Structure formats: C-alpha cells, structure tokens
Amino acid sequence: MSMVYRMLENNSSGEKLDQEEKKKNYKTSIELVTKAVALDMADSQSWYVLGNAHLTNFFVNNESTKELESALRAYALTEKHMKEANPDLFYNRATVLEYLERYSEAAQNFQAAHQIDPNLGGDKRADAIVGFVSRAYNSIANKGKIKSNRLTEMVKSIPQTIPG
C-alpha cells in the first residue's frame, strides 16, 4: 500500500491529483510502511520500502535532511535482515550518501550495486564521484590554477559592503 500511495496520479474520480494531494500521499506512504515494519521488525522488504519512502518524501516534500538520515537507518536495517543481496538497496543508499556528500561511502555502495547487477550502472556513478572529488581536490590544491598575485587581487576587489 505504501508504494501504491507514492505512485497515485489520479483520485478515485479519475481526476489528476494536485501537488498538495501528492505530497500528502507521500506522508501517508511513510505512515503505512511504518505500521508494516512494526508488524515484523525482521522483514527486510518492509525496511527497504520505508527507506525508499523517506528518500522520495525528501525530494517531493522538500523535507530536511533528517528524511535522508531516516532512509539510511532503514536501509541499514534492510541490509541487516536481508536474505539475498538487493542491488537497488545499495544503489539507493549510494544516492542518499552522494546527496549528503559522503562520497567515499557513496562510491562503495555504487560499486556494491554494480557487483550484484552490472546493468544498473553503479560503476559509472562511482567513477563519476571519484572524478568529481579528484577535480575538486586538484582545484583546491592548485587554487583554481590562478597565480597567488591574481588571487590576492581578486579577493581585494570584492566590495566590503553592498551598495543598497
């Protein structure tokens, strides 16, 4: 039911849901899957659905990053209770970690997803993270390839007050 609420596009009359109704459905989705988890705390699928509900709620309802932290906790419990590897778990968790700028963990999870299912493209996402971090490091280390004198001039040219 939780997943169905997140997929609903129309109401019972067949009319398109407005944005507020959709947002409400995402919150209802979390409530429903939380009840399912309470029925069986060792059900990895329910924990996984709860993680996904928090992840999508973060983006749909512009919630705080606490939603992403809740998703990570649910994903950790999914992994603890799962019987067989789920590549989507690792991929989704990597997406959360990347958004939280925990790049090393994100790359590891994308690689784990790729090892289970190469069709997901986790290796490319991991490589993109490594490339991004490397470019950022090099830019910082090289001061953006700007000579010290030029950098000093640029900093001095910044107004101390903004004309109003």
53 bridge partner residues: none
- Asked if the model's pLDDT at residue 66 lies above 70, the reply is yes
For domain 1-84, give the fold. Answer: 1.25.40
CB-count burial class (<10 Å; 0-12, 13-18, 19+) for 161: exposed
Helices (H), 61-102: 66-81, 87-99
How is the chain split into domains, by residue range? 1-84, 85-157
pTM for the predicted model, two decimal places: 0.81
Identify the pLDDT of residue 164.
Answer: 58
Q: For residues 73 and 62, which has the higher predicted lDDT (pLDDT)? A: 73
| Confidence bin at 111 (pLDDT 50/70/90) | very high
Q: For residues 74 and 5, which has the higher predicted lDDT (pLDDT)? A: 74
- Asked if the model's pLDDT at residue 64 lies above 80, the reply is yes
